[in-house]
């Protein structure tokens, strides 16, 4: 019951949070010193033509009216039309979101698989050589510019060794799109060749993206373990002769992970921000690359659409994290 | 009858930044099968350290064993390694001081009991795995019933924070009994509980131990609690054994000046309690000879120089004192 009321509470807050996000996105788009009508009308347009465009898009109306219109459109799933492709933004986002989602999910998976065991080992052997080495690595993992790291990986594994493709998401024919996640679609289609290609393309960008996230996971898991390992419950289980591995990998790990799970939202934010750079370097057809292109072209409907989309995604992920947190820790659900 | 637990001439120190802290000094103690022994002393007298030494869970790398041995069922618990680990939770179990913090808060009571039984409960030969889940659950429920917890099945499904302190300590006693041990070490098991609950828990512990023929080593600073449940009382002062006596003899004729003053410090109708001047010496710089000599009204030169040996008086009464209180010399002050 507690858990349900917690979820209901968070769901109610979901709506005002999104409205706030809309207001910020809208305000930012109007503060930018670029006249969107001028851009849309084209370089050689006359003053009259620009005025027409302005009226067509409703830019001549007062700002509050424009905002209400905007909220209404978004509520109806209408994010406007790209000023350059003349395609509805929603379509663009819908084709690109799965690519980013796939990349991010794999990056989270890599970060968790690497970060959690290393974090536990560091926490258990605090101030050992392993802990010191990993502290240096994690700090640099957070500090290193991801585009630089991405290009090092490309240079080594694609250009020098030729093991992995340089960029892109797929070679040959992509499988029938069902989920939009290339790996899943290839599995559904039973297309081994497409699956191998999808995975090979995925490795370098996912690793680049996972590096700072893994560093964060290591640090939080380590601190979680250190906070728990000297607790009376561990002393009790040791005195009662529970096997060490059961104490560590079952009981201590769950306690340590409550801290890490809280950070998953933060980690997801790191990944979304990283996706902008990583997708551009690896020519990955996702939201990040789309955002960069839209910004460079001052396609402001597309920028607003992207910002809103990632913002909503971030809020949604944090909702999931809260629910997961409450499920892990029965005391917190109040 | 040979001793189940045999501690002989045990001296032990912890490494600290200020030098070795000599926490235990030539401790002798034996516990016979089925016997309930109370280990009485002030905070810092070494009783918890002694309990941890018997369980073999002293902090590694910080402990220096000066002399002596601890044998439990024939196994050397100080240098036992694997053998000691196997004994823990099987031959000797543990009831902790703090039933609030000694459970892992994130797992159900039933899970924590199931893990204990999976690793430590006695199994019929050849059926180590599988088919035990049901039998384990039945045994757990029967034991929760034995410690007088109502609705034991519901308790298995609860989280620790959903139980009261008294209920949790009952579960701890059930867990201590489930592996069918020969010795239970109860480290101040009632200190964290309400006074009204304390007597119930002590009575329960004594009754169940006697019924099952399990020995109990019970540490406490509460002489009243020792009177409630013990067959024999051991008094420790600053890491040394002061006096060992059967319960009746102990309370009727205390021989050691410290014990005598300890009993005088209890409030009693018709008499004002008398405190013991001074404080417990630091284990970093313990006084020579008998460690009680700076506070003892009977102190003489020999007390500062020579450590008194445990000498046997009538009725199994052992006293380590150069000038014990006897029928001829009753007055505390000479």
Query: For B66-98, what is each residue's pLDDT tens digit?
Result: 888 899 988 888 876 788 888 888 899 999 988
A235 to B104: CB separation less than 8 angstroms, yes or no = no
Specify whether B172 is located in the same domain as B192.
Answer: no
Using a 10 angstrom Cβ sphere, with 0-12 exposed, 13-18 middle and 19 or more buried, the burial of residue B71 is middle
A330 to B175: CB separation less than 8 angstroms, yes or no = no
Q: Which of B160, B180, B200 is the last residue of a domain?
A: B180
Interface test with A, best of B75, B90, B93, B105 (most A CBs within 10 A): B105
ipTM rounded to 2 decimals: 0.88
**How many domains does chain B divide into?**
2
Gap between the Cα atoms of B64 and B62, Å rounded: 7
Cα–Cα distances in angstroms (integers) from residue A80 to residues A15, A57, B52, in the given order? 21, 9, 71
Specify whether B224 is located in the same domain as B269.
Answer: yes
Query: For B20-49, what is each residue's pLDDT tens digit?
Result: 899 998 898 899 999 999 999 888 888 889
B101 to A239: CB separation less than 8 angstroms, yes or no = no
A255 to B88: CB separation less than 8 angstroms, yes or no = no
**Residue A130, min C-alpha distance to chain B (Å):** 19
Query: And the tokens for B40?
Result: 């009485």
> What pLDDT, on the 0 to 100 scale, is given for residue B219?
92
Cα–Cα distances in angstroms (integers) from residue A214 to residues A96, B229, B251, in the given order? 25, 55, 63
Query: Is residue A93 one of the residues assigned to a domain?
Result: no
For the segment B186-204, the average pLDDT, to the nearest whole number, is: 88
Q: Is the pLDDT of residue B100 over 60?
A: yes
Query: For B105-159, what is each residue's pLDDT tens digit?
Result: 999 999 999 999 888 877 665 555 556 778 888 889 999 999 999 999 999 999 9
Residues of B with CB under 8 A from a CB of A: 52, 55, 57, 85-90, 93-94, 96, 98, 101-107, 115-116, 119-120, 159, 161, 175, 185
H helix or E strand, kind and range, residue A196: helix A192-229
Specify whether A59 is located in the same domain as A120.
Answer: no
Which DSSP string do the residues of B264-305 spell out, in sequence order?
Answer: HTS-BTTB---PPPS-PPPTTSPPSSSTTGGG-TT--HHHHH
Three-class DSSP category at B205: helix
> What pLDDT, on the 0 to 100 scale, is given for residue B260?
87
- Residues of A with Cβ-Cβ distance to B177 under 8 angstroms: none
Query: Is residue B293 one of the residues assigned to a domain?
Result: no
CATH number of the domain at B267, please.
Answer: 3.40.50.300
Q: Provide the percentage of residues in chain B whose pLDDT is more than 70.
A: 94
Q: What is the DSSP letter of A61?
A: S
Gap between the Cα atoms of A332 and B21, Å rounded: 41
**How many domains does chain A divide into?**
2
Q: Dihedral sign, CA of B218, B198, B88, B67?
A: negative
Specify whether B225 is located in the same domain as B250.
Answer: yes
H helix or E strand, kind and range, residue B69: strand B63-72
Using a 10 angstrom Cβ sphere, with 0-12 exposed, 13-18 middle and 19 or more buried, the burial of residue B135 is middle
Gap between the Cα atoms of A199 and A183, Å rounded: 7
> What pLDDT, on the 0 to 100 scale, is given for residue B155?
93
CATH number of the domain at A150, please.
Answer: 1.10.3720
- Structural domain harbouring B124: 97-180
C-beta of residue A208 within 8 angstroms of C-beta of residue A162: no
Specify whether A72 is located in the same domain as A153.
Answer: no
- Residues of B with Cβ-Cβ distance to A258 under 8 angstroms: 106
> What pLDDT, on the 0 to 100 scale, is given for residue B209?
92
Query: Is residue B294 one of the residues assigned to a domain?
Result: no
Q: How confident is the model at residue B333 (pLDDT cuts 50, 70, 90)?
A: low
Phi, psi of B326 (to 5 degrees): -130, 180
Low-confidence winner among A230-234, B212-216, B274-278 (lowest mean pLDDT):
B274-278
Q: List the B5-16 sheet strands across, edge first.
A: B19-31, B5-16, B63-72, B75-76
Q: Which of B138, B159, B180 is the last residue of a domain?
A: B180
Specify whether A142 is located in the same domain as A231.
Answer: yes
In chain A, what is the greatest distance between 2 CA atoms, to the nearest angstrom?
85
Query: Is residue A254 one of the residues assigned to a domain?
Result: yes
Neighbours of A268 (CB within 10 A): 22
- Structural domain harbouring A36: 1-88+286-334
* Residue of A233, A243, A328 with shortest CB distance to B103: A233
Mean pLDDT of chain B: 87
Gap between the Cα atoms of A149 and A43, Å rounded: 39
Query: Is residue A333 one of the residues assigned to a domain?
Result: yes
> What pLDDT, on the 0 to 100 scale, is given for residue A334?
40
Q: Is the pLDDT of residue B225 over 90?
A: no
> How many inter-chain contacts (A to B, CB under 8 Å) are there?
72
pLDDT in tens, chain A (334 residues): 567 777 788 788 888 888 888 888 888 877 776 676 776 677 777 888 888 877 777 777 888 888 888 888 888 888 888 877 778 888 888 888 888 888 888 898 898 899 999 999 999 988 888 889 888 888 887 777 778 888 888 888 877 887 888 777 777 777 777 777 777 877 887 777 778 888 888 888 888 888 888 888 898 899 889 988 888 999 999 999 898 899 999 999 988 888 788 777 778 877 887 888 888 888 888 888 888 888 888 777 888 888 888 888 888 888 888 888 877 777 764 4
């Amino acid at each position: 019951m507690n858990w349900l009321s917690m979820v209901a509470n968070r769901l109610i807050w979901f709506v005002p949070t999104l409205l706030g996000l809309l207001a910020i996105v809208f305000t930012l788009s109007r503060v930018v010193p670029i006249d969107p009508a001028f851009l849309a009308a084209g370089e050689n347009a006359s003053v009259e033509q620009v005025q027409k465009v302005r009226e067509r898009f409703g830019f001549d109306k007062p700002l509050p009216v424009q905002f209400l219109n905007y909220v209404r459109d978004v509520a109806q799933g209408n994010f406007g039309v790209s000023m350059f492709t003349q395609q509805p933004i929603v379509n663009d986002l819908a084709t690109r979101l799965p690519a980013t989602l796939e990349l991010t999910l794999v990056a989270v998976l890599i970060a968790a698989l690497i970060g959690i065991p290393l974090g536990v080992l560091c926490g258990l052997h605090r101030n050992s050589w392993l802990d010191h080495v990993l502290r240096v690595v994690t700090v640099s993992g957070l500090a290193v510019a991801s585009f630089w790291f991405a290009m090092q990986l490309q240079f080594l594994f694609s250009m020098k060794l030729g093991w992995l493709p340089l960029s892109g998401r797929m070679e040959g024919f992509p499988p029938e799109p069902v989920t939009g996640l290339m790996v899943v679609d290839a599995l559904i289609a039973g297309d081994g060749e497409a699956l191998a290609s999808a995975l090979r393309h995925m490795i370098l960008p996912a690793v680049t993206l996972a590096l700072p996230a893994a560093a964060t996971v290591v640090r939080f898991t380590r601190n979680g373990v250190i906070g728990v390992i000297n607790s009376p419950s561990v002393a009790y289980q040791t005195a009662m002769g529970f096997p060490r591995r059961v104490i560590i990998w079952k009981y201590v790990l769950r306690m340590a992970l409550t801290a890490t799970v809280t950070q998953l939202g933060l980690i997801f934010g790191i990944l979304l921000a990283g996706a902008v750079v990583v997708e551009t370097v690896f020519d990955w057809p996702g939201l990040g690359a789309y955002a960069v292109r839209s910004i460079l072209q001052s396609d402001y409907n597309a920028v607003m659409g992207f910002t809103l989309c990632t913002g909503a995604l971030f809020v949604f992920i944090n909702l999931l994290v809260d629910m997961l947190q409450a499920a892990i820790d029965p005391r917190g659900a109040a | 009858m040979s001793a189940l637990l045999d501690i002989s001439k045990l001296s032990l120190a912890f490494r600290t930044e200020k030098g070795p802290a000599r926490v235990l000094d030539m401790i002798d103690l034996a516990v016979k099968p089925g016997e309930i022994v109370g280990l009485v002393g002030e905070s810092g007298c070494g009783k918890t350290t002694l309990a941890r030494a018997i369980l073999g869970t002293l902090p590694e790398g910080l402990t220096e064993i000066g002399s002596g041995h601890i044998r439990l069922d024939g196994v050397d618990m100080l240098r036992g390694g694997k053998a000691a680990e196997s004994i823990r939770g099987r031959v000797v179990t543990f009831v902790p001081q703090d039933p609030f913090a000694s459970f892992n808060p994130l797992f159900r009571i039933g899970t924590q009991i199931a893990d204990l039984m999976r690793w430590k409960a006695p199994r019929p030969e050849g059926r180590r795995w599988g088919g035990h889940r049901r039998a384990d659950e039945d045994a757990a429920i029967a034991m929760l019933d034995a410690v007088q917890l109502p609705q034991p099945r519901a308790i298995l499904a609860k989280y620790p924070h959903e139980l009261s302190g008294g209920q949790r300590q009952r579960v701890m006693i059930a867990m201590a009994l489930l592996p069918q041990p020969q010795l239970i070490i109860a480290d101040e098991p009632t200190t964290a509980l309400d006074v009204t609950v304390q007597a119930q828990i002590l009575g329960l512990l004594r009754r169940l131990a006697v019924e099952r023929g399990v020995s109990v080593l019970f540490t406490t600073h509460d002489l009243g609690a020792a009177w409630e449940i013990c067959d024999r009382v051991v008094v420790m002062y600053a890491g040394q054994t002061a006096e060992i006596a059967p319960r009746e003899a102990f309370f009727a004729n205390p021989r050691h000046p410290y014990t005598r003053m300890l009993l005088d410090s209890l409030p009693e109708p018709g008499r004002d309690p008398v405190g013991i001047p001074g404080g417990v010496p630091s284990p970093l710089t313990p006084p020579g000879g008998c460690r009680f000599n700076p506070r003892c009204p009977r102190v003489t030169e020999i007390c500062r120089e020579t450590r008194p040996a445990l000498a046997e008086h009538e009725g199994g009464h052992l006293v380590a004192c150069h000038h014990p209180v006897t029928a001829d010399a009753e007055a505390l002050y000479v």
